[in-house]
Structure 1
């Protein structure tokens, strides 16, 4: 009778010890692939590099394994605005014995034409300049500029007017003089002036 009870008790202990042994072995925390998607770490997106996913893929995956949307690329920084094209037709650089240097041009850009004269006054006194642009059909634009007594380079420029006809139909002339009643002319510089020594 005692042997029979001992046998039954031993059988019960063996049956009860099997789930306990499985619990001690524990789940697959190493993230090893069992052919069905891996262990707990793999399902949470925490598996190591051996899982075959890059660090960027791991960081973009949520707990359910779905990918988060990628961040939009930053827009490209715009460069400096492109300057409009300006063409010029200039005469030679001229100078006078009284200390005036000038070069006069016809400027063309964005459907407009205007005159510009670059100058330097080394005469030691204030001077006056008159810049005139002559265009097709007798069109004329004129402006007066004051030149200080300093010898810093400067420019005199007429207002811009809508272009009419071909660019070579325009010419510009700048006249530099002493600003008094006599108006002694010191230098005349034109966009079509001959170069010095051309006769």
Structure 2
């Protein structure tokens, strides 16, 4: 059935009043039906109630039929919804939080990501420089042990050889290496050549 905007507004007001009577005044089903009957009795041309007189008798019957199959038919369900206490399910979880150690060596400053110290020391913390390790070893060995190492490092191994002698030695070593490589390559090529020749002979005989 077609209602105007004002009629829809009045119908929603009527429905809200019925729910208010149920939720606040705790009206029973019989009392709600009686209250609705009193409201519907004011509808019609013989009554001058402007609040509900915007509906005619046919529209009033349609409203009553709708309330029968909706609110009144499921009245017990609405009572259960408004008055029955429901359990509150609280879902929680436990988390283990690791307390950060003071920001002092060997512990790093606390990070926002919460990286553990093992990961930090293994992958993030830069390793100590090599110079520092050498200095530490020299300090542990003492001045007496470090002096021979310094003297041996300063001595030149090529002292006593001329440039021509060094060149001749390098030429001999290079020639020996190249001859060995060339011999090995020739042997491999000869082996492959013999293999290919054998295959060609088999193909000819076939």
Q: TM bucket by the smaller chain?
A: under 0.3
Structure index of larger Rg: 2
Q: Which has the higher contact order (CA 8 A, sep 6+)?
A: 1
Higher strand share: 1
What is the TM-score of this pair, normalised by structure 2? 0.19
